[in-house]
Amino acid sequence: MSAGAAPLEVRGLRVHHDDRQGFTPDDVSFTVNRGEVVLLLGPSGSGKSTLALALNGLIPRAIPATVEGAVLVAGISTADETVGRLSQHVAMVFQDPDSQIVTGTLMDEVSFGPENLRVPVAEVLERAERALRQVGLWERRGDNPDTLSGGGRQRLAIACALALGSPLIVLDEPTANLDPAGIDEIYAVLRELVDAGGHTIVLVEHNLDAAIDLVDRAIVFDRDGRLAFDGPVRDVLLSNVDALLAMGVWLPVSTLAALRLRDAGVALEELPLTPAELAMALDATVLPSVVERSRDQIERAEISTSLDLISTSSIAVTGLTVTRGKKTLLRDVDLEIARGEFLAIVGVNGAGKTTLLQAIAGVIAPPKGTVSIGELDPARADVRELAASIGFVFQNPEHQFIRTTVGEELAHGLEIARVDPDEIERRVAAMLERFGLEAERDIHPFLLSGGQKRRLSVGTALIAGAPVLALDEPTFGQDRERAAALLDLLAQLNAEGTTVIVVTHDMQLVADYASSVAIVADGQLVSHGPTTDVLAGDALELAGLRPPPLARAMRALTRHPAWRSISRLADLP
Amino acid sequence: MTALDPFRERVDYGPIRFLHRLNPLAKIAAPLPAMAVLLIARDVPTPVAFLGLAFAMLAVGAHLDGRLWLALIVGLPLLVAVMSVSFGLWTNPAGVDRSVTLLSIGDYRLYLGSLAVGLATALRLVSLLALGLLAGATSTGPDLVRAMVQQLRVPYRIGYTALAAYRFVPRFGHELQVIRSAHRVRGMAGGRGPFAAVRRVLGYVVSLLAGAIRHAERVALAMDARAFGAHRDRTERHLVPFRARDWIFIALFWAATAAIVISLKEIP
């Protein structure tokens, strides 16, 4: 390691994967200085994660790819050194906490890296203790990592990176698989690391609302993998708003809200990045009255109540209790879901959200008489009846693929229902067209891209004509762009009359798309009502959840009380 | 965690529970000759003697939880009984003592001799199991791997990778459960019967494998990124030494094995 070399220098880096077209990233150069916290941004497919994997040589050493240009870590070219030896200079934290754990106790896990580097025992122990203390897990050093929450396991992964002793830490989407509580834990730990100084951090993250407080520099890649912007995060985001939006980069919700208000004629001097800044900016200016909007809202509410009276409720849950072994997963849940609702079921991990969704959809058999979908009791229904009433989309679409081509996969539900072959052909063709999968008809479902797999799983759930669609964390592990594409699809289906029920952690998604929210805490339904009402109250906090960023900003307003209950972008003027 | 948790920590239960203090390799090497004898023995006394030896050692030298003792004391005799009868039924009557007929149904005759052969076979299997428990019930997975790396010079990359693979088992179990419920909800085509069942299982396997391969790749990347395999050896935080007492244990066990074999030979 040459003295004074920058922790990271990337020179004209181009990476070409054999299975993809072109180079992403393409001809990228930048230098990261000691102590900097750098955010890598870009739309899906711009090569952010590829770049992250190239920073410690995993690309091309472990993942074959054509690499041009150079990556220098502490002055050492990744081409000259093995991934293992480079780990003293650059440590990695990946997206999925589960696939980073290799041993049976926290202590063994943190010691694993230093042991591989042949660090003497006394120093291994010292490093392990310091790293575990830094992430607040020292007290649990003897536990099995499986007993930690998702956020806890990801903190453990950060401790493992710290124990390697490398001054540069690269985090590739570290919070994409976590619930809001886990995301907060990770950013609290990173905050402390940054405040303590001594570490240089490169962060790939699409959740800008969580990361924005932490980073001081942003590097943005465009869709072709070229470097578009590089500079202080505030300058980069606020001076290039239009270009970033056109590129498909997601801005913080507070910024988006301010842009919308500006278009509506609200005078805002500087665009905000965080909820706190947005609240301050709005308090300092004159806002149009929101009376008109709320009258409109009242009218809408009246219309929807009258609709409720006409149509029978689509799904009724009464006194639903689900136990597994000695554990009670759900206790005495009563829930009515109206036809055409877009219901979001939220709650902390282990609260019973997924169990509730699965019991409604008959994935796990609910006790007889506790759930009815229209006239149907899923506890007594066979697969055919169930498929015609409610479609279920699992978190991982691959789990539910059972046939060998996309076309057969769609036809499956109809074949089981013994639909006439001509009719099957007609409906499959229509579904393929609807979801943009015509060209993929004869390929194996596992060979589709992530977004296509998700669309196919929604298609298979709907093809038997089910008026209700239930989805378990449909945006888990996906970036904003893919998540938005799926949600727009769901919103469209909902507008056409499909009742949509989602289990999700993403509160801004809830605010922007759901018409009603059900909060589950500790196996019980603690709150259920129209989204605006639920988000305006304190039920979310009581259940251990955080309101979405926009709601946080609006609640902090002191001069505009009428605005405090706003939580969705669409409700802004 | 369950008794089968491969990652549980080694616990020291004091000098009397000596098995926990021995090197796992010693506990495997010591009963090997006895196991070889059992593989060729045809009589009843030999397996009984070794079963007694194994039980005595476990009783004194091992700290076993109540459930395992229950399994040993109630489960093993039951196992012996069931296996004796079933082996007895399957034994070719041509080679056994046919002086006492226990049962005759049509042309079939069950002789006491057949049952004796069944009993001998059952006892052999059970005493092999009991000898295996000497190491199995008193060692931990990580210690066995460490001993193999430290004494047998097994490359650590193989040993520790095997240990990391243990973590896959519960994960795949859970994943399989999810896949099965997903497939059940979709409804199975192809009807009932054994062929449809095979196809159904193949369907699970494809989903499971696709997930497993991706998971394994990610684990491998994470291990690489943490310097696994960077050097030819690695720091061993826990040494699992092979001490004089391990040699003594092996020597005494071998001597006991020889004594049992010789003394049983002398009894006609």
Give the distance from residue A82's alpha carbon to the nearest chain B alpha carbon, in angstroms: 7
Torsion angle (degrees, nearest 10) of CA A488, A493, A498, A501: -20
Query: Does residue A449 sit in helix, strand or coil?
Result: coil
Pick from B207, B210, B224: CB nearest A83? B224
CA A354, chain centre distance (Å): 16
Is the bond preceding A60 in cis, omega lying within 30 degrees of 0?
A: yes
Looking at residue B9, its pLDDT comes to 64
Boundaries of every domain in chain B:
18-151+240-266, 156-225
Place of tokens 């609200």: A266
A326 and A202 in a single domain? The answer is no
Final residue of a domain: which of A231, A248, A265? Answer: A248
Give the distance from residue A433's alpha carbon to the nearest chain B alpha carbon, in angstroms: 22
Give the distance from residue B199's alpha carbon to the nearest chain A alpha carbon, in angstroms: 10
Torsion angle (degrees, nearest 10) of CA A502, A503, A506, A509: 10
Confidence bin at A285 (pLDDT 50/70/90): confident
Contacts of B209 in chain A (CB under 8 A): none
Q: How many CB atoms lie within 10 A of CB B94?
A: 6
Looking at residue A293, its pLDDT comes to 47
Is the Cβ pair B210, A112 closer than 8 Å? no
Is the Cβ pair A117, B230 closer than 8 Å? yes
Chain B residue with minimal CA distance to A166?
Answer: B226
- Token pair in block for residue A445: 């479902």
DSSP one-letter string for A357-395: HHHHTTSSPPPTTSEEETTB-TTT--HHHHHHHEEEE-S
A310 and A195 in a single domain? The answer is no
Place of tokens 């993809």: A20
Q: Is the pLDDT at A310 greater than 60, yes or no?
A: no
Using one digit for the tens of pLDDT, what is the confidence trace for A33-77? 999 999 999 888 888 989 999 999 999 989 889 999 999 999 999
Distance CA(A85)–CA(A428), nearest Å, equals 53
A169 DSSP β-pair partners = A91, A201
Q: Is the pLDDT at A470 greater than 70, yes or no?
A: yes
Closest CA to A503 of A482, A521, A517, A492: A517
Maximum C-alpha span of chain B = 71
Looking at residue B107, its pLDDT comes to 79
ipTM given for this complex = 0.86
Q: Is the pLDDT at A482 greater than 90, yes or no?
A: no
A195 and A311 in a single domain? The answer is no
Instruction: Provide the total of helices (H) and of strands (E) in chain A, helices listed first.
Output: 23, 19
Using one digit for the tens of pLDDT, what is the confidence trace for A366-377? 999 999 998 889
Distances (CA, A) of A201 to A39, A49, A92: 8, 15, 10
Is the Cβ pair B220, A142 closer than 8 Å? no
Q: How many CB atoms lie within 10 A of CB B266?
A: 6
Sign of the torsion angle spanned by Cα atoms B56, B58, B62, B67: negative
Looking at residue B263, its pLDDT comes to 92
Distances (CA, A) of A448 to A248, A453, B202: 22, 6, 20
Are A155 and A185 spatial neighbours (Cβ–Cβ below 8 Å)?
yes
Distance CA(B188)–CA(B166), nearest Å, equals 32
Closest CA to A160 of B39, B222, B212, B210: B222
Look at B188 and A452; give whichever has higher pLDDT. A452
- Token pair in block for residue A342: 């877009």
Say if A290 falls within a structural domain: no
Are A140 and A148 spatial neighbours (Cβ–Cβ below 8 Å)?
yes
Distance CA(A41)–CA(A480), nearest Å, equals 12
Distance CA(A402)–CA(A526), nearest Å, equals 37
Say if A567 falls within a structural domain: no
Distance CA(A324)–CA(B107), nearest Å, equals 52
Place of tokens 């999968």: A437
Say if A551 falls within a structural domain: no
Is the Cβ pair A398, B207 closer than 8 Å? yes
- Model pTM score: 0.86
Closest CA to A400 of B178, B195, B168, B214: B178
Is the Cβ pair B185, A416 closer than 8 Å? no
Looking at residue A342, its pLDDT comes to 94
Give the distance from residue A97's alpha carbon to the nearest chain B alpha carbon, in angstroms: 10
Rg (CA), chain B: 24
Helices within A55-170 (DSSP H only): 58-61, 83-86, 106-116, 121-134, 150-163
A318 and A239 in a single domain? The answer is no
A212 and A302 in a single domain? The answer is no
Q: Is the pLDDT at A165 greater than 80, yes or no?
A: yes
Looking at residue A295, its pLDDT comes to 44
Looking at residue B268, its pLDDT comes to 55
Q: Is the pLDDT at A365 greater than 70, yes or no?
A: yes
Are A409 and A443 spatial neighbours (Cβ–Cβ below 8 Å)?
no
Closest CA to A568 of A504, A507, A519: A507
> Residue A242: left (phi > 0), alpha (psi -120 to 50), or beta?
alpha
Say if A507 falls within a structural domain: yes
- Averaged over A294-302, what is the pLDDT? 48
- Token pair in block for residue A501: 């029920």
Is the Cβ pair A412, B187 closer than 8 Å? yes
Is the Cβ pair A63, B1 closer than 8 Å? no
pLDDT mean values, one per 10 residues, chain B (268 residues): 52 85 94 95 92 93 88 91 90 80 81 88 94 91 89 90 85 89 77 77 87 91 93 89 94 95 80
Order of strands across the sheet that contains A371-373: A327-337, A315-324, A371-373
Say if A268 falls within a structural domain: no
- Token pair in block for residue B242: 């092979």
A483 and A348 in a single domain? The answer is yes
Q: Is the pLDDT at A445 greater than 70, yes or no?
A: yes
Place of tokens 């809001």: A180
Pick from B8, B203, B235: CB nearest A402? B203
Q: Is the pLDDT at A466 greater than 80, yes or no?
A: yes
- Averaged over A142-170, what is the pLDDT? 94
* Percent of residues, chain A, with pLDDT higher than 90: 55
Confidence bin at A305 (pLDDT 50/70/90): very low
- Averaged over A253-280, what is the pLDDT? 90
Confidence bin at A413 (pLDDT 50/70/90): confident
Say if A560 falls within a structural domain: no
Distances (CA, A) of A127 to A83, A92, A98, A133: 21, 17, 22, 10
Say if A253 falls within a structural domain: no
Looking at residue B163, its pLDDT comes to 84
Sign of the torsion angle spanned by Cα atoms A434, A439, A444, A450: negative
- Computed over every residue of chain A, the mean pLDDT equals 88
* Percent of residues, chain A, with pLDDT higher than 70: 95
Q: How many CB atoms lie within 10 A of CB A478?
A: 19
Side chain identity, residue A187: Y
Closest CA to A76 of A168, A162, A14, A163: A168
At A399, phi and psi to the nearest 5? Answer: -60, -30
Side chain identity, residue A392: F
Say if A555 falls within a structural domain: no
Give the distance from residue B13's alpha carbon to the nearest chain A alpha carbon, in angstroms: 18
When scoring A50, A63, A83 by the number of chain B Cβ atoms within 10 A, the one with the most, hence best to mutate, is A83
Closest CA to A348 of A459, A493, A129, A183: A183
Confidence bin at A298 (pLDDT 50/70/90): very low
When scoring B145, B209, B226, B235 by the number of chain A Cβ atoms within 10 A, the one with the most, hence best to mutate, is B226
Confidence bin at A313 (pLDDT 50/70/90): low
A51 and A144 in a single domain? The answer is yes
Order of strands across the sheet that contains A28-32: A28-32, A8-16, A66-73, A76-77
Looking at residue A297, its pLDDT comes to 53
Q: Which residues are within 8 A (CB) of A111 and not within 5 positions of it... i.e. 6 or more apart?
A: A124, A125, A127, A128, A163, B237
Looking at residue A481, its pLDDT comes to 77
Confidence bin at A409 (pLDDT 50/70/90): very high
A340 and A226 in a single domain? The answer is no
Is the Cβ pair A125, B203 closer than 8 Å? no
Are A7 and A168 spatial neighbours (Cβ–Cβ below 8 Å)?
yes
Q: Which residues are within 8 A (CB) of A146 and not within 5 positions of it... i.e. 6 or more apart?
A: B170
CATH of the domain at A145: 3.40.50.300
Helices within A372-497 (DSSP H only): 383-389, 406-416, 421-434, 450-462, 480-495
- Token pair in block for residue A205: 């993250």
Looking at residue A299, its pLDDT comes to 47
Distance CA(A409)–CA(A433), nearest Å, equals 15
Domain count of the fold of chain A: 2
Contacts of A117 in chain B (CB under 8 A): 227, 230-231, 234-235
Q: Which residues are within 8 A (CB) of A143 and not within 5 positions of it... i.e. 6 or more apart?
A: A105, A106
Using one digit for the tens of pLDDT, what is the confidence trace for A207-253? 888 899 899 999 999 989 999 999 999 999 999 999 998 888 888 99
Sign of the torsion angle spanned by Cα atoms A57, A59, A65, A67: negative
Using one digit for the tens of pLDDT, what is the confidence trace for A326-336? 889 999 999 99
Contacts of A82 in chain B (CB under 8 A): 230
Looking at residue B42, its pLDDT comes to 86
Q: Which domain holds residue A536?
A: 297-542
Distance CA(A70)–CA(A6), nearest Å, equals 14
Looking at residue A306, its pLDDT comes to 43
Looking at residue B130, its pLDDT comes to 94
Crossing angle of helices B244-266/B45-61, nearest 10°? 150
Q: Find the angle CA(A62)-CA(A64)-CA(A69) to the nearest 5 degrees.
A: 100
Closest CA to B111 of B99, B122, B120, B95: B99
Report which DSSP code applies to B50: H
Give the distance from residue B262's alpha carbon to the nearest chain A alpha carbon, in angstroms: 45
Looking at residue B22, its pLDDT comes to 93
